[in-house]
Structure 1
Amino acid sequence: MQTSKITRIAVVALVLLFLVLSVISCSTHVHTHGHHHHAPGKKIPPGQAKKMNGDQSAKAYAPGQQKKR
């Protein structure tokens, strides 16, 4: 009778240990899809600025193509 109590306690302890380890090892990953929003002070790449304004060429938005006045 004594051995069956010890065996039952051992089985319950192992099941609880398994459940605790299962819960602890869980992790979540957040995946974002969609457009990247640019921060207020950050430059937008020339190609993206062209698309936003509906122009045919990104040349006007490229920093190396800006004429000095």
Structure 2
Amino acid sequence: MQTSKFTRIAVIVLVLLFLVLSVISCSTHTHTHTHTTSGKKIPPGQAKKMNGDKSAKAYAPGQQKKR
């Protein structure tokens, strides 16, 4: 049975695409590991980074308004 050139190229492209996607999905698997400290507070700058804020003022104990 004779296959056309287009069909052969399409099959090769699909196989390569499958292989590339398989490798990418295996290599991009990441683990997120968080360390819990025993009662220690994290520094205000670190809390700011974790929450994506621009200012650490809200996390600094000396900068909190008394109610």
TM class by shorter chain equals: 0.3 to 0.5
Q: Scaled by the length of structure 1, what TM-score is found?
A: 0.44
Q: Which has the greater radius of gyration?
A: 1
